[in-house]
Homo-oligomer: A and B are copies of this chain.
Amino acid sequence: MTDAPTARDLAPRILAGDRRALARAVTLVESTRPDHRADATALIEALRKPTADLGRQALRIGLSGTPGVGKSTFIEAFGMALVEGGLRVAVLAVDPSSSRSGGSILGDKTRMDRLSREPAAFIRPSPSATHLGGVARRTREAVALCEAAGFDVVLIETVGVGQSETMVAQMCDVFVLLLAPAGGDELQGVKRGIMEMADLILVNKADGDLKPAATRTVADYAGALRLLRKRPQDPEGFPKALPVSAMTGAGIAEAWAEVQALARWRKDQGWWDRARATQAAHWFEAEVREGLLSRLHRDPDLRRAMADQAKAVAEGRLTPDAAAAEILSNL
């Protein structure tokens, strides 16, 4: 980030939809250097009001799926369908497990060959691993940057591991789970807790030999979803399970229609704004919490004391409450 453009330079270019400026801004929000952090915060703040005044609000779609379900191919097909419909689409990846520098589940953009060459698309791989709190902030800020740049849809892609789904669910308007067909008794292996967040379950590879298995898997999940209680933020019939084929394009239009129908209903019923306000409040409190705790971890003496107490607690030498009381009394 030599000769990094200042927030002042970047803001108007982002608002003009300049993808290179957007890419630079995302790099800025990913940086952990204190001066970059300050620049990033200033930039986000400078964009907040113009974005609101322009009425720019993207449809934020969370997309979760384990490796092998064909996520990149799906994003390519889904993204191209939106772009061909005249929409601007941004794709952000969240992969806190990635440890390669610049590595990501998206890997090189060659896996989204067509979409990455579209002027109306912006694809950004996951930054290298940082702690989940940092990833959450970076992703929220990247989403805000994409909204400022006038993107209609922001796809937030995440791999089906760890806590990243919960995090993504807290920053998207619609959450989509992508699955592969399961054959017969074969277990699908959906991580517990992910299914419950899904607004839409898409079973990919509903083509060729796998089509019957995909149909059966859709029916299985539709059945499982019916066993769960209807959430107030869902219209009748949601969450839904549908077959898609990223390869043939079958079901892609239907899936997009369902996402839109759900988004429209939630907007009409006030759930959209309410969810965004709740999410914002959640992140505010999470940031305060995180900030307080990071002070605990920053001070070397306190950090040592926390580690010692945690060990004593795990070994049963202290109750969690007594250990916490001791830490708190020393603050």
Residues of A within 8 A of B (CB): 41, 44-45, 48, 52, 137, 140-141, 144, 182, 187-193, 195-197, 220-221, 223-224, 226-231, 277-278, 280-293, 296, 306, 309-310, 313-316, 318-325, 327-328, 331
Contacts and interface: CB of A to CB of B under 8 A. Distances in A.
15 contacts: A41-B322, A45-B322, A48-B318, A182-B227, A187-B229, A191-B228, A193-B196, A224-B227, A281-B313, A285-B310, A291-B324, A291-B325, A291-B328, A292-B292, A292-B331
A288 B327 contact: yes
A323 B286 CA distance: 11
A141 B228 CA distance: 33
A93 to B, nearest CB: 21
A321 to B, nearest CB: 6
A321 B221 contact: no
Contacts of A324: 284, 287-288, 290-291
Of listed A220, A285, A296, residue having the most chain B CB within 10 A: A285
Contacts of A293: 288-289, 292
Contacts of A192: 196-197, 228-229, 231
A48 B323 CA distance: 13
Given A195-B228, A196-B196, A223-B223, A321 B281 contact: no
A314 B223 contact: no
Given A189-B229, A195-B228, A228-B190, A310 B284 contact: yes
Nearest to A192: B196
Counting every copy of the chain, the complex holds 2
Nearest to A309: B284
Contact of A316 (B52, B227, B291, B309): B52
A295 to B, nearest CB: 8
A289 B325 CA distance: 11
A54 to B, nearest CB: 13
Contacts of A187: 226-227, 229-230
A232 B14 CA distance: 47
Pairs A-B, 8 closest by C-beta atoms: A287-B324, A192-B196, A283-B320, A284-B320, A277-B314, A189-B229, A291-B328, A224-B224
A328 to B, nearest CB: 4
A314 B320 CA distance: 34
